[in-house]
């Protein structure tokens, strides 16, 4: 199998770009996971605050 150097360079560049994209995807997945976790924690805090407010209204 013979591949000219221009095509080999193109192939290597594509492989490098592919690896960079994979790394970016991993970073996005990590960020997304953190955002989901933070949103869940804030949602729980909001639910607790709403419950306290309802309890306050009931006691008034």
What's the CA gap between 33 and 30, in Å, rounded?
Answer: 5
Q: What is the DSSP letter of 24?
A: H
Q: Where is pLDDT greater, at 3 or 16?
A: 16
Q: Where is pLDDT greater, at 8 or 16?
A: 16
Supply the pTM of this predicted model. Answer: 0.65
Confidence check: pLDDT of 29 > 90 = yes
Confidence check: pLDDT of 14 > 80 = yes
Average pLDDT, stretch 31-37?
A: 93
Mean confidence (pLDDT) of the chain: 91
């Amino acid at each position: 199998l013979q591949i000219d150097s221009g095509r080999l360079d193109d192939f290597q560049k594509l492989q490098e770009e592919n690896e960079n994209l994979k790394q970016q995807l991993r970073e996005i997945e990590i960020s997304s996971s953190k955002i989901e976790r933070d949103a869940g924690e804030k949602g729980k805090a909001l639910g607790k605050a709403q419950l306290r407010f309802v309890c306050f209204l009931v006691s008034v």
